Amino acid sequence: MSGALEDKRTATRFRILAEIADRQPAVSQGEIAEAVGVTSQAVSEYIRDLVEDGLVEKQGRSRYRVTKEGVDWLFQEARALQRFAEHVTDDVLESVNEDAAIVTDDVAAGDTVTLSLRDGLLHATPGDDGPAIGVATTDAEAGDAASVTGFEGVIEMEPGSVRVLQVPPARVAEADAVDADALAAACDEADIVVAAGVEAVVACRHAEVDVRTWFAPGEVAADAAARGLDAAVVASTDTAGRVTDALRDAGVLFEVTEP
């Protein structure tokens, strides 16, 4: 665990060193004192200790700079704090959060349920047979939604992928220039199809492809892949860049091809 979480002095030392790093080289001890919530005299004493420990270098009157050792110590403490925060948000809070799930059979509040993802939606099945379980907090009949809490384990899921199918823009080709059969065949392999750009929507209509949406297609495809679905994004060459940017930002695997 981070030393900043174990004792008040280390926490104050961490905050003062971070303030120096943020303000260097011209450092106002009064401003740091106000930001940290201690006296100016206390800040002076902390800075003196930091200099003695080689974490801060004094360069003149009210001029300080964090040393390489100081940066390393700050980074280590910050990473430890980050890991603790992730533990709290991902493990502690998730275990007490409630979420909705479609129940596959009748459940009553208090029943243990096995959790799974189907079609990108959370499902709950009575029993504790799976690697991920929870507890229903409401009654629900099969096919309805129940509230679930007390999550334990990990839902088994292979992340999906995204295929970006490029079609030409209207300024360089007619709508019927796209091979409708090839586009339909390519989209048929996906669990969900979205479109980016008017040309893409028109091409899908010619190919009789069911498009779920043409709003924020990159983000929608990325979310679908994160839930285990394979997505196809039909995009004009003018809009494909915005789609792939969104997919890269989300860390989703994708390929760009023509239908």
Are 43 and 117 in a shared domain?
A: no
Q: What residues have CB less than 8 Å from 187, skipping those under 6 apart?
A: 165, 193, 204, 207, 209, 232, 234, 259
The pLDDT of residue 1: 47
Helix (H) or strand (E) holding 242: helix 240-249
How many domains does the chain contain in total?
Answer: 3
* Assigned token pair, 61: 């009157």
Are 196 and 248 in a shared domain?
A: yes
CB atoms within 10 A of CB 223: 16
Reported as a single tens digit per residue, the pLDDT across 67-112 is 999 999 998 888 888 877 776 666 554 555 788 999 999 999 999 9
Reported as a single tens digit per residue, the pLDDT across 13-35 is 999 999 999 999 998 999 999 99
Any idea what DSSP says for residue 167? E
Residue 120: what residue type? G
Using alpha carbons only, how large is the chain's radius of gyration in Å?
27
Are 194 and 242 in a shared domain?
A: yes
Which CATH number characterizes residue 248's domain?
Answer: 3.40.1010.10
User: What are the φ and ψ backbone dihedral angles of 240, each rounded to 5 degrees?
Assistant: -60, -35
Instruction: Please tell me the distance from the alpha carbon of residue 10 to that of residue 53, in angstroms, as a whole number.
Output: 13
Domain end: 106, 130, 153, which one? Answer: 153
User: What are the φ and ψ backbone dihedral angles of 227, each rounded to 5 degrees?
Assistant: -100, 15
Give yes or no for a cis peptide into 25 (omega within 30° of 0).
yes
Domain end: 50, 75, 94, which one? Answer: 94
Are 141 and 168 in a shared domain?
A: no
Which residues lie across from 188 on neighbouring strands? none
Are 7 and 86 in a shared domain?
A: yes
Are 17 and 69 in a shared domain?
A: yes
Are 206 and 190 in a shared domain?
A: yes
The pLDDT of residue 87: 63
Q: What is the mean pLDDT of each run of 10 residues along the chain (259 residues)?
A: 68 92 91 91 93 92 91 88 71 65 96 92 92 92 94 81 94 80 95 96 96 96 92 95 92 90
Are 246 and 178 in a shared domain?
A: yes
Are 170 and 223 in a shared domain?
A: yes
Domain end: 44, 72, 94, which one? Answer: 94
Instruction: Please tell me the distance from the alpha carbon of residue 183 to that of residue 247, in angstroms, as a whole number.
Output: 21
Are 83 and 115 in a shared domain?
A: no
Domain residues for the domain of 166 are 162-257
Going by their DSSP bridges, the two strands 145-153 and 162-167 should be labelled as unpaired
Are 77 and 111 in a shared domain?
A: no
- pTM across the whole model: 0.58
Instruction: Please tell me the distance from the alpha carbon of residue 234 to that of residue 67, in angstroms, as a whole number.
Output: 52
Are 188 and 203 in a shared domain?
A: yes
CB-based burial, 84-96: b 16+ in 10 Å, e otherwise: eeeeeeeeeeeee
The pLDDT of residue 2: 54
* Assigned token pair, 101: 């799930």
